[in-house]
Structures are given as C-alpha cells and as structure tokens.
Amino acid sequence: MPFDRAPQPHPPEEMIPLDDPESGLRGVIVLHSTALGPAAGGCRVWRYENDREAARDALRLAEGMSYKNALAGLPFGGGKAVICQPAGAFDRQALFRAFGRAVASLNGRYVTAEDVGTSVEDMLTVAETTRHVAGLPNKLGAPGGDPSPWTALGVCRAMQVAVRRRLGTDLQGVTVAVQGLGHVGFALCELLHRAGARLIVAEPRAAVAARAAALFGAEVVTSHKLLAAEADVFAPCALGAVLDMAAVKRLRATVVCGAANNQLAMPQQGVDLAARGVLYCPDYVVNAGGIVSVAAEHFGWSLAEARKRVEGIGLRLAEVLDHADGGGMAPNEAADSLAQSLIAGKRPTSLAA
Ligand code: NAD
C-alpha cells in the first residue's frame, strides 16, 4: 500500500502495510504512539475507495486513540487497523487469521479489538493467531466482551458533571435528546431514565424507537428535528461529523455530551459552540468507557477497578473543562492540549474516581 499522504502535525511512529493476497487482506496498521504503552485501538473494516483513503482514515483514527487513551489515564498508546473490505465473496475467517498474524508480528506493540465492521466473532478468529487482542467474550466475573454498557456509563457520568456545571442541577427533570439507539444509545437511555431525565430520541429502526417510547416514555422524532428539539442536552450516539456549521446554528441544547466518535465536523465547530454558550464535552473524553473495558480485559483488572475508572470519566471531563476555562480555550482544544502534554510526559495519569 503506498502511504501517499499529506504531512500530519503529529506523525505516527510507524505504519505497517497489510497485504496478504491469499486471504484478500489489504489495509494498514498505524502505531501512532507507544509512549504510554502498547498502541491500542480497534480494527475497522470498510469499503474504502482506495489505499490512500484507507491510510488517511487509519492515521486520523490512530491519533484519536492516542489522545483518548492518554486522557483515560490508561497505560496504552494509540493505534488503529483498517482493512479494505474485499470486493465480492471472501473467506472471513482466513482474512482475520491473516490479520492476527500481522498483529502477532508486532510482538505486543499493538493491541487490537472490535470497531466498525468487526465483531466479537471476528476477534475470536484473530485470537487464533495472536494473543494481542481484546473484546473477547468475558469470562465469568471478569471485564471483557461488549464494551457498550461501559461506554454508556462513562457518558452518563460525564453528562452529570456537564449538567451540574451548565444548569446547576442533577439529571432529574432534565431533557436529553439522544441521537441513535444502538448499543450505546439504548443503554444510555436506560441510565438517563433511571436518573429521572426526560428523553427525546431519534432512531431510524422504528421498532427500536418504539421500544424506547414504551420502556422510557421517550418522545420519538426524526434525526433532523432532534437538533432543534426543546432539550437541555444533545447526546449524539450515532454518526460522526454531526456537528457541522448548520447543525451548530440549529442546536437548541446548551450541553452536548454523547458517545459518537468525531462529533465535530471540524475543530472550528468546537469554538463556534463555545461562542454560542454551548458546553461541548469532547467526544473522546466522555466515550472512553469502552476502551477502559478493553484495557481491563487486556491487563487483567477486576470489574471493580474497571468500574472505578469509568466512573472517573466525569472527573476527567471536569479537569478538561477547567483547563479550557483557565486557558481561554474551547473544550476540544483543551482536551487535545492536555492529551498532547500527557503523551509528551510519557506518563499515564490515572483517573481519580
Ligand atoms: P451502533 O451501530 O450499535 O448504533 C448506532 C445507532 O445509530 C443505530 O441504532 C442506527 O440505527 C442509528 N442511526 C444511524 N443513523 C442515524 C441517524 N441519522 N439518526 C439517528 N440514529 C441513527 O453503534 P454503537 O456501538 O452504539 O456506537 C454509537 C457511536 O458511539 C458510534 O459513533 C461509535 O463509534 C461510538 N462509540 C461506541 C463505543 C462502544 O463501546 N460501542 C465506544 C466509543 C465510541
């Protein structure tokens, strides 16, 4: 794969091409940073237009993982694998075994897990050829498996901090607009409902939306209407780049706190939100519960340790927001600057719970 790319402000340590014609494996593993520990980040399978687009996506995602892992206080650097989905039929197991061999060849410098387009079953296949893989079904009483409930818990704790800061209340009676009722969004609704929040939701799968209406009394609207809904908090839990220029103008909520990755179309939108008085909670700070669960599985931490660290996401968000206020920065800028200094200091700082 030719790594023909524009220079990055924070270039990766290494890019490892994936090219196994026998299984059809083609893509790249990016080790963005191993300063704080093995580069950890999931494996994405996607229909990329070409190798260049795949490499660009992997670079962007791997850098994001370095920042997310640093701010989550994990002894992990950042990395990512992307695999170009082969055209036509292919042997999925052969492909993931070949991917596992590539991961194994890095001798623990990269730890993989699920991401968009990959499943627990795929990771079980990867585990046949490498032990540097997480997101496997959990052994009784140990962390592991589907990280979504942990991600939802972290978002909920972050939202409590943000709502307290912006509205001066707890979640009781606060209206939250949740976009996307997938693995994380639905679990988040359950937590918010228990905390007494009122829910407005958007989800294209009508049966899932109806279930949220029945279980949590949620009002169901279209995704377009959700942005302008009369809500205190907007919780994007579906797509990336949902906050573009137009969306920032339409948004009625004064807090944004959700699980989706890369919510801001451009960093500038973080500045625009701040200028409009909207408290934006940086996505990779608040959605780190899933990677904490992966770390717990990889390092053999207990469930109690995993929970303590996920509960600590609220406090880490408060630190980021204080840093933003102190430095006259937007929260997304403050998060990047804190993450960069943690990586430069080569020292993971654990989340206080
Ligand atoms: P998912 O695929 O299970 O859920 C996404 C949901 O969004 C689906 O129900 C889908 O129907 C819905 N959706 C799609 N388009 C929509 C639209 N226009 N409006 C409203 N809903 C729409 O994914 P997930 O695992 O719940 O993850 C949600 C987001 O959180 C993703 O951006 C993911 O990258 C991010 N994230 C997830 C985790 C995790 O632990 N699963 C961790 C960190 C970040």
> Measuring from atom 25 of ligand 1, which residue has the nearest CA?
183
Which amino acid would we find at residue 146?
D
Distance 182 CA to ligand 1 centre (A): 5
CA distance 135 to 291: 10
Q: How far is CA 17 from CA 28, 54, 117, 218, in A?
A: 4, 11, 19, 46
CB of 14 closer than 8 Å to CB of 65: no
Residues annotated as catalytic are: 80
Long-range contacts of the stretch 301-310 (C-beta < 8 A, 24+): 301/143, 302/142, 302/143, 303/141, 303/142, 303/143, 306/143, 306/150, 307/153, 308/353, 309/72, 309/73, 309/350, 309/351, 309/353, 310/150, 310/153, 310/154, 310/157
What integer pLDDT is reported at residue 76 of this predicted model?
Answer: 97
One digit per residue, pLDDT tens: the chain, 353 residues? 434 344 455 789 999 999 999 999 999 999 999 999 999 999 999 999 899 999 999 999 999 999 999 999 999 999 999 999 999 999 999 999 999 999 999 999 999 998 889 998 999 999 999 999 998 987 777 888 888 999 999 999 999 999 999 999 999 999 999 999 999 999 999 999 999 999 999 999 999 999 999 999 999 999 999 999 999 999 999 988 899 999 999 999 999 999 998 899 999 999 999 999 999 999 999 999 999 999 999 999 999 999 999 999 999 999 999 999 999 999 999 999 999 999 988 665 654 43
Distance 150 CA to ligand 1 centre (A): 14
> Measuring from atom 41 of ligand 1, which residue has the nearest CA?
148
Q: Is any ligand 1 atom within 6 A of the Cβ of residue 72?
A: no
Q: Which of 57, 60, 148, 153 to mutate to test the pocket of ligand 1 (most atoms within 8 A of CB)?
A: 148
> Measuring from atom 43 of ligand 1, which residue has the nearest CA?
287
Distance 78 CA to ligand 1 centre (A): 21
